[in-house]
Amino acid sequence: MTRDEALKQLRTLAQARALGRHVGSDRLIQAAVDALVADVDAPSLPLLAGLGRHEEPEAQELFGHVAEELGIRFEAPASPRAAKWALAHWLAAQIVDGSLDPARGADLIWAEVAMDLDYPDELQPIIECAIHLADWDEGWDIPMDRLREDALSAARALIAHRGPDTSTLE
């Protein structure tokens, strides 16, 4: 893992936590280990990387220090609506960069965002993909890979058309 990849991993975890996603202590500790191996330097990083199993409860707080020290701390929008839009765009970005399976990402946007936003028109293409992917079976004429590609295209379109309620996520 390169230094840039390690920083991206840490940034993604900071964003996930800020957007209300569960990030286990084990993932935070492993990301710290990866970052140390990749020559990322922050005072709290070795402390986080060195936590043992019985010290895992300390990982969440230590990760906050690491994020602050590296300048990757992320604040979700204060408005619940804007925070949901930020989550939708963040999930779409994860689909596009390949770190989230398109079927899983489309389903998460459908289940965790769309309903709370009252199924806005901007999310309809990815919601339709999620429905098709959830209902798909081997008897369909459309291959599963095609549906995944459609979800990827819908995620790209969602990212390209950010609205006023969105926050910029890198």
Largest CA distance in the chain: 56
Q: What is the pLDDT of residues 11-24, one digit of tens each?
A: 999 999 999 899 99
pLDDT value at residue 53? 87
pLDDT value at residue 34? 97
- The answer to whether the CB of 147 falls within 8 A of the CB of 129 is yes
pLDDT value at residue 132? 95
Does the pLDDT value for residue 10 go beyond 60? Answer: yes
CA distances from 53 to 29, 30, 43, 62, 70 (A): 10, 12, 21, 14, 25
Does the pLDDT value for residue 169 go beyond 60? Answer: no
Does the pLDDT value for residue 84 go beyond 80? Answer: yes
CB atoms within 10 A of CB 80: 11
Phi then psi for residue 115, to 5 deg, are -60, -45
DSSP 75-131: ---SSHHHHHHHHHHHHHHHHHTTSS-HHHHHHHHIIIIITTTT--GGGHHHHHHHH
- The answer to whether the CB of 9 falls within 8 A of the CB of 94 is no
pTM confidence score: 0.81
Q: What is the pLDDT of residues 23-75, one digit of tens each?
A: 999 999 999 999 999 999 999 999 999 999 899 889 999 999 999 999 999 99
pLDDT value at residue 32? 97
What stretch of H or E contains 146? helix 144-160
Q: Which of 145, 111, 109 is nearest to 126 (CA)?
A: 109
Does the pLDDT value for residue 170 go beyond 50? Answer: no
pLDDT value at residue 161? 83
Does the pLDDT value for residue 4 go beyond 90? Answer: yes
Q: What is the pLDDT of residues 95-150, one digit of tens each?
A: 999 999 999 999 999 999 999 999 999 999 999 999 999 999 989 999 999 999 99
Q: Considering only CA atoms, give the Rg of the chain.
A: 18
Rounded to whole angstroms, how far apart are CA atoms 84 and 115? 10
Does the pLDDT value for residue 160 go beyond 80? Answer: yes
Is residue 65 exposed (0-12), middle (13-18) or buried (19+ Cβ within 10 Å)? middle
